[in-house]
Amino acid sequence: MKNISPGLIASRRAALLRLPAVPALAALWPALPAAAQVPEPVFGTPGKDSGWIPTPAGMVEAMLEMAGISSQDTVVDLGSGDGRIPILAAKRYGARGLGIEYNPDLVKYSISVAEREGLSERVKFIQGDIFATDFSHATVVTLFMPPAFNLKVRPQLLAMKPGTRVVSFNFDMGDWPPDESVYVNDQRGMLWRVPTSVAGLWRLNFTDAGTNRDSPPHVLRVSQRFQKIEGDMTIAGERLALWDIRFEVDRLRFTVLRNTGRLQRIDFDCRRSGTALEGIMQASGEPARRWTATL
Ligand SMILES: C[S@@+](CC[C@H](N)C(=O)[O-])C[C@H]1O[C@@H](n2cnc3c(N)ncnc32)[C@H](O)[C@@H]1O
């Protein structure tokens, strides 16, 4: 890293990301060891949708930890800068890494660091525009980009395989709230898990032998905004609120309370499977029943 004063770094950072300067951040940027024969990147090097400002090393570690990276993951950094995120994901967790970076000098530098670390097989860098590069195979997407970029890339992220983790430093995803956050030196890293869609009007079909005939109609109405679920369950024409709703990626759990002379608690636990919902229903004092539902 070139010898740049913290004040200059903070003001350049503010200009690049259109944020108030946070001088304390400058102290967190680590010096990467020099890569052989490739000039070290200069803070503020231009890119396309933003210039280069690295995520602080401690935050990179915390974000990868929060994402639960393993050797099964493919970690793609959108705008990979000096390559630190895919390289650490491969080095520490044995993951595959890919960096997509617009600036060719940063790509050269990243490749040289990966080579020096003996990680060239596991970590690749592509010079190009994020919006012209396919990253749909990623199991984890990382980014440190301005808010407008996050909103622009959000539809692509939401279309990824359910369960894909998205990790962003400092900037959120608008009204898509994060599932988890981590704080390092007052800076925030955020994690989202791409949710599947469970929205719609689902008619339950009990699949235990013989039981469907004896069951009143059960219709589940689900409305969904990202990972936020609302809805109700109509049983035998009576509309009941969903209580204690829990939804994560493709698993939906909730409770309904039904008055059948006594207040009966009924727990539902289901997953999206192809075009169906598949689950169990457990009414208090009764055996659990299996069901599937279609739209
Ligand atoms: C703020 S830096 C973050 C670098 C790295 N992800 C990190 O967290 O340390 C953003 C990087 O994205 C690159 N970039 C900006 N717009 C891009 C685009 N449309 N396609 C590819 N890279 C882009 C910039 O050159 C810069 O290196």
Return d(Cα 287, Cα 280) in angstroms, integer: 10
Query: What pLDDT is stored for residue 5 in this prediction?
Result: 41
| 107 and 75 co-located in one domain | yes
Domain assignment present for residue 50? The answer is yes
| 225 and 182 co-located in one domain | no
Domain assignment present for residue 175? The answer is yes
Q: Point out the least confidently predicted range of 10-14, 68-72, 78-82.
A: 10-14
Q: Give the domain extent around 225.
A: 200-294
Domain assignment present for residue 81? The answer is yes
Regarding the beta carbon of 106 and ligand 1, being less than 6 Å apart is answered yes
| 130 and 252 co-located in one domain | no
Tokens representing 245? Answer: 């709703």
Average pLDDT of the segment spanning 159-185: 98
Regarding the beta carbon of 103 and ligand 1, being less than 6 Å apart is answered yes
| 212 and 171 co-located in one domain | no
Return d(Cα 292, Cα 112) in angstroms, integer: 53
Say yes or no to pLDDT of 229 above 60.
yes
Mean pLDDT score across all residues of the chain: 89
Residues shown for the chain: 295
Q: How far is the CA of 45 from the centre of ligand 1 (A)?
A: 10
Q: How far is the CA of 52 from the centre of ligand 1 (A)?
A: 6
Using the 3D structure, point to which of 147, 176, 193 is the last residue of a domain. 193
**Helix, strand, or coil here: 12?**
helix
Residue 24 and residue 185 in contact, taking contact as beta carbons nearer than 8 Å: yes
Domain assignment present for residue 1? The answer is no
Residue whose structure tokens are 């595959």: 96
Nearest CA to ligand 1 atom 23: 79
Query: What pLDDT is stored for residue 130 in this prediction?
Result: 98
| 128 and 258 co-located in one domain | no
* pTM across the whole model: 0.87
Regarding the beta carbon of 84 and ligand 1, being less than 6 Å apart is answered yes
Q: How far is the CA of 248 from the centre of ligand 1 (A)?
A: 30
1 Cβ contact partners less than 8 Å away, ≥ 6 residues apart: 29, 30, 31, 32, 40, 41, 43
Using the 3D structure, point to which of 193, 216, 231 is the last residue of a domain. 193
Which of residues 216 and 146 earns the better pLDDT score?
146
Using the 3D structure, point to which of 167, 193, 219 is the last residue of a domain. 193
| 159 and 225 co-located in one domain | no
Average pLDDT of the segment spanning 49-76: 98
Provide the number of structural domains found in the chain. Answer: 2
Q: How far is the CA of 9 from the centre of ligand 1 (A)?
A: 17
Return d(Cα 172, Cα 149) in angstroms, integer: 10
- The candidate with the shortest Cα–Cα distance to 171, out of 92, 78, 86, is 78
93-109 pLDDT tens trace: 999 999 999 999 999 99
Nearest CA to ligand 1 atom 9: 54
- Domain with 273 in it: what CATH number? 2.40.128.20
Provide DSSP, 214-256. Answer: HSPPEEEEEEEETTEEEEEEEETTEEEE-EEEEEETTEEEEEE
- The candidate with the shortest Cα–Cα distance to 158, out of 231, 245, 225, 101, is 225
15-36 pLDDT tens trace: 445 433 333 333 333 444 544 5
| 166 and 77 co-located in one domain | yes
Position 276 confidence tier, pLDDT thresholds 50, 70, 90: very high
Query: What pLDDT is stored for residue 38 in this prediction?
Result: 87
Position 8 confidence tier, pLDDT thresholds 50, 70, 90: very low
Say yes or no to pLDDT of 225 above 90.
yes
Regarding the beta carbon of 281 and ligand 1, being less than 6 Å apart is answered no
